[in-house]
Structure 1
Amino acid sequence: MTGPRRRRPLPPARRPRARSLAPLAAVTALCGGLLLGPGTPAYAADDHPAFTIRDARVTESSGLAASRLHPGVYWTHNDSDDGPYLYAIDGRSGRTLARITLSGIGSPRDVEAISLGPDGRLYVGDIGDNLDGTWPHVWIYALPEPKQLRDQTVRATQYTVQYEGGPRNAEALMVHPKTGRVYIASKRESGGNLYEGPAKLSATGTNVFRKVAPVDLWVTDGAFSPDGRTLALRGYFSGTYYDWNDGHPKAAGRLAVPLQRQGESLTWTTDGTTLMYGSEGSRSEVRPEEAPVQPSPSPGASKSAPGGGKGSGEGGQQQGDGADSGRSGAGQENGDKDGAGKDTGGTTGKTVLVVVLAAAVLYGLRRTRGKRAGK
């Protein structure tokens, strides 16, 4: 009688070969290096997050300025008749860190803008005129940026302003970060203008602001880039940025203005990578958008003269620590001649090179696996 047949033992299972991810990692690193390029900062929204202004006293935030002395802090103020107050807001939590009371000035009428000058002073624009021509003059208040964030009273200097061509409504005041000259953009969609103040404001006389360029935009705020080479102007639903060359703006492109309840304010972050957009209303949100790439200066361009930034009158000589950060922000390596901020030629060439290299590496991996499978 034949016994049961014994089964042959199965051969041991082959362990799957570990596939190295090193080639893929190399391609990924190469892609990142070629597409970003040397010295190009990668934009990260986490660096400058959106935040909500939580102070119940701030219901009509109408201006915004990034602090140089206190990183991540933004100065704002209410519109109209709130009083002579500025608020220091934490850009992470939205909490108020200090309320500053301005002294040495009259009663504010319609405060619409705030900007930080190279002399370390905050310039506050009491320049609103909702009836577009009822006030024979408006005012600018200048005060040293407080070195300590606490509720306090700070003495300011008051400057009287008139416009070439007569009164008008305005909501945007910008101080150039290199020359210290003050600019105001009128609020008129058709027939608006950018006005330039004197090289040095006078606290005793009248400062006449003269037309330098037409601006066909319902401007609610504006700001210069930290290096002074780009001017951004926003409206409620749109905006324009300009290449700035010795006081002569040239339209370069459109801004990505977020949809907001009533978009009234704008500032650059101190590193030049981001534009922060603010709105009026209770618990209003401040939203970040990537800043336009700034044009590289021409090789033979002369540097702007540092005049006009000291101002005059009380507080005119006060210098804030780090008043001029000197950081040019994003875009210094992108030599886009038309100022639109798109280096399409260089990016296209780099992309093609990346695709070719990636294809070569993947082809090599397939051949290696094919040879191993045939063994």
Structure 2
Amino acid sequence: MRRSFAFLVAGLLAGVLALPAAATAAADGDEGFTISDPRITESSGLAASRLHPGIYWTHNDSDDGPYLYAVDSATGETVARITLTGVGTPRDVEAISIGPDNQIYVGDIGDNLGGSWAYVWVYRLTEPKELKDQSIRATQYVVKYSDGARDAESLVVHPRTGRVYIIDKNEDGGHLYEGPATLSPSGTNVFKPVAPVDLWATDAAFSPDGKQLAVRGYFGGIWYDWNGGKIKRKGRLSVPLGQGESVSYSADGTKLMLGSEGADSAVEAEDAPGDSGAGGSKSPSGNGSSADSASDGGSDGYKVGALAVAVAFAAVFGLRRLFRRS
């Protein structure tokens, strides 16, 4: 009986392990990771690479220099450090976003003194085709706001139009600022407020198809229907507790990746809300809340659940039989 029970449990476990990978993990492996590079202690922005599957670009908040880090989400290890040349000394780098044609935009837009700087900077560079430590020349843009200087930590680039947007950081809620249709490397680029954002925003991200805008803060998040720039609030997002500083959609649009500051900081994955576009799925409620947006996993999810119950039942039943026979 003991040997039969052992074979039963082993068989059931083998059945669980033999299920397709989609039953227990996302197909692309974007299930969260921990940044292990000791040089990254203030990860303040996050962007999923379009060229290199599973790679996320990040950077430190301040006091680091003009560096970007390519982190492999499968291992949490840095596979390349990019040094930006052709730019000044960064002051407070807070955001990173990838636009059309694999152009990386970096927002040196932080102003912790709440409007002490008359201008901020945005840097643009082409994402490298080869992941290795290297220097890349970037274009630097001077940015001002039409209604005065302010602090900001969120910069997004629309994946279809390439237009750059900034969301200012205000405890009572901020605004979405729209930049010129094309940024100019000479002169000043004036950003104008176009819509209120009901959040103390620390980062934001467009879905890969450009139809959604996710905005996060320290204690929560909101997702919007982009609606051609006339954003419509659709629902709330749950975010991990802690110094929440970054958000990115996964490259396929099915996940929201939520990062934080600190050494060995975690990047946690949540199902993307609503219709996430390329390869995405719709949450059961469509409102993006954590309680309602959990996926049921389809038929494979039910298989995992059923087998798990079977294993647990077999274990309890078998142990009871063993104790009775002893």
Structure 1 distance, partners of 2:224, 2:77, is 33
Match of 1:209 in 2: 191
Secondary structure, counterpart of 1:119 in structure 2: helix
In structure 2, which of residues 132, 151, 154 is the aligned counterpart of residue 169 of structure 1?
Answer: 151
Q: Post-superposition shift, 1:340? A: 3.2
Match of 1:340 in 2: 287
For residues 111-165 of structure 1, the C-alpha deviation after alignment (integer angstroms, 9 at most, x for no partner) is: 0000000121100000000011100000000000010000000000000000110
User: 1:75 and 1:241, CA in 2 relative to 1: closer, same or farther beyond 3 A?
Assistant: same
Instruction: Output aligned runs, 1:257-276, within 5 Å.
Output: 257-259=239-241, 261-276=242-257
Is residue 277–residue 288 contact of structure 1 (8 Å, CA) maintained in 2?
yes
Give the deviation of 1:42 after TM superposition. Answer: 7.8
1:200 Cα deviation from its structure 2 partner: 0.3
- CA deviations over 1:24-65 (Å, ceiling 9, x no partner): xxxxxxxxxxxxxxxxx9894573122111111000000000
The residue identity in structure 2 corresponding to 1:60 is E
Indicate the structure (1 or 2) with the bigger Cα radius of gyration. Answer: 1
Query: Does the C-alpha gap of structure 1 residues 79 and 95 become closer, same or farther in structure 2, counting only changes over 3 Å?
Result: same
In the alignment, structure 1 residue 247 sits paired with structure 2 residue 229: yes
- Where structure 1 has 5 or more consecutive residues not aligned to the other structure, the ranges are 1-40, 296-326, 345-375
Q: 1:289 to 1:191 in 2, by over 3 A?
A: closer
* Cα deviation, residue 191, structure 1: 4.5
Preserved CA contact (<8 Å) 1:227 1:329 = no
Correspondence 1:328 to 2:275: no
Give the letter for the 1:278 counterpart: G
In the alignment, which of 139, 144, 156 is matched to residue 126 of structure 2?
144
Aligned with residue 258 of structure 2, among 269, 277, 287: 277
The two structures, once aligned, show a CA RMSD in angstroms of 2.1
Aligned-pair CA distance for 1:329: 3.2
Q: Give the counterpart of 1:189 among 141, 166, 171.
A: 171
Note if 1:134 corresponds to 2:116: yes
Task: Name the structure 1 match of 2:107.
Answer: 125
1:73 counterpart residue number: 55
Deviation at 1:258, TM superposition (A): 1.8
Match of 1:292 in 2: 273
**Corresponding residue of 1:320:** none
1:160 corresponds to: 142
CA contact (8 A) 1:51 1:91 kept: yes
Q: Give the distance between the partners of 2:113 and 2:180, measured in 1 at CA.
A: 26
| Off by >3 Å, runs of 4+ in structure 1 | 41-46, 339-342
Cα distance in 1, alignment partners of residues 41 and 240 from structure 2: 19
C-alpha deviations, 1:320-356, integer Å up to 9, x for none?
xxxxxxx623147x999xx6369x9xxxxxxxxxxxx
After TM superposition, the score normalised by the length of structure 2 is: 0.78
Match of 1:227 among 206, 209, 212: 209
Q: How many correspondences in the alignment?
A: 268
Question: After superposition, what is the alpha-carbon deviation per residue over 1:75-129, rounded to whole angstroms, capped at 9, x for unaligned?
Answer: 0000012100000000010011000000000000000000000121100000000
User: What letter matches 1:229 in structure 2?
Assistant: K
Residue pairs, 1:351-362, within 5 angstroms: none
SS in 2 for 1:211: strand
The share of aligned pairs that are identical, in percent, is: 64
CA distance in 1, matches of 2:266, 2:228: 34
Task: Write the distance in 2 (CA, Å) between the matches of 1:329 and 1:223.
Answer: 17
* CA distance in structure 2 between the partners assigned to 1:240 and 1:131 by the alignment: 26
Give the aligned partner of residue 66 of structure 2.
84
SS of the residue aligned with 1:246?
Answer: helix
Q: Summarize deviations over 1:235-259 as a string: whole Å, max 9, x none.
A: 0110000001111111000012122
Cα 1:43/1:242, change in 2 over 3 Å: farther
Listed one character per residue, the Cα deviations across residues 146-186 of structure 1 (whole Å, up to 9, x for unaligned) are: 10000000000000000110000000000001111001001
Q: Is the 1:189–1:216 contact (alpha carbons within 8 Å) kept by the matching residues of 2?
A: no
Alpha-carbon deviations, 1:186-230, whole Å to 9, x = none? 101215111000100000010000001111211010000001000
1:89 maps to amino acid: V
Q: Is the 8 A contact 2:57 2:70 kept in 1?
A: yes
1: CA distance between counterparts of 2:284 and 2:228?
18
Which residue of the partner structure matches residue 363 of structure 1? none
Aligned to 2:182: 200
3-state SS of 2:226 partner: strand
Q: How does 1:299-310 map to 2 (within 5 A)?
A: none
Q: What letter corresponds to residue 328 of structure 1 in structure 2? A: A
Query: CA contact under 8 A between 1:294 and 1:341: conserved in structure 2?
Result: no
